[in-house]
Amino acid sequence: MFAFVIFALVILELCAVYFAWRAVLSTRTSQGAIGWVVLLLAAPYLGVPLFLYLGHHKYRRYKMSWRESERVAEPVRVFHSDNAPLYPPSISPLPFEKIADLPAVRGNDMRLLIDGEATFDAIFAAIDSARSYVLVQFYIVHDDRLGRALQDRLITAAKRGVKVWFFVDAVGSHDLPSSYLDALREAGAKVIDPKRSQGPKRRFQLNFRNHRKTVIVDGSVGFTGGLNVGDEYMGRDPEFAPWRDTHVELHGPVVSQLQLTFVEDWHWAIGEVITDELNWDAPHAEADMTALMVPTGPGDELETGALFFFSAIAAAKKRVWIATPYCVPDIDVLTALKHAALSGVDVRLLVPEVIDHTIPWLAAFAYFDELRLAGVQIWRFNNGFMHQKVLLVDDDLAAIGTTNLDNRSFRLNFEAMALFFDKGAAQEVEAMLARDFAESFKMTRVLRDQPRWIRLGAPVARLFSPVL
Active site residue 267: no
Q: What Rg value do the Cα atoms of the chain yield, rounded?
A: 22
Active site residue 195: no
CB burial of 200-210 (b: ≥16 within 10 Å; e: otherwise) equals beeeeebbbbb
Among the listed residues 211, 247, 251, 267, the single catalytic one is: 211
Among the listed residues 247, 251, 267, 387, the single catalytic one is: 387
Sort strands 327-328 and 190-191 into parallel, antiparallel or unpaired: unpaired
- Sequence-ordered list of residues with C-beta below 8 angstroms from that of 243, at least 6 positions apart, any chain: 115, 116, 232, 233, 234, 235, 237, 384, 385, 387
Helices 331-342 and 304-315, packing angle to 10 deg? 0
Its sign, for the CA torsion 203, 207, 213, 215, is negative
DSSP reduced 3-state for 322: strand
Q: How far is CA 274 from the centre of its chain?
A: 23
Among the listed residues 389, 396, 406, 422, the single catalytic one is: 389
Contact of 243 with 385, CB cutoff 8 Å: yes
**DSSP 8-state symbol, 85:** -
CA distance 217 to 291: 19
Contact of 317 with 227, CB cutoff 8 Å: no
Active site residue 318: no
**DSSP 8-state symbol, 69:** -
Active site residue 213: yes
Instruction: Verify cis geometry, omega within 30 degrees of 0, for the bond prior to 298.
Output: no
- Sequence-ordered list of residues with C-beta below 8 angstroms from that of 55, at least 6 positions apart, any chain: 19, 22, 23, 27, 36
CA distance 183 to 164: 13
Beta carbons within 10 angstroms of residue 415's beta carbon: 27
Active site residue 394: yes
Distances in whole angstroms, Cα of residue 309 to Cα of each of 19, 94, 268:
30, 14, 25
Partner residues linked to 385 by β-bridges: 243
Among the listed residues 109, 115, 218, 422, the single catalytic one is: 218
**DSSP 8-state symbol, 353:** S
3-state secondary structure 272-309: CCCHHHCCCCCCCCCCCEEEEEEEECCCCCCCHHHHHH
Active site residue 387: yes
Among the listed residues 57, 142, 190, 213, the single catalytic one is: 213
Among the listed residues 394, 396, 406, 422, the single catalytic one is: 394
CA distance 52 to 46: 11
DSSP reduced 3-state for 368: helix
Please count the helices (runs of H) and the strands (runs of E) in the chain. Answer: 16, 19
Which residues belong to the active site? 211, 213, 218, 387, 389, 394
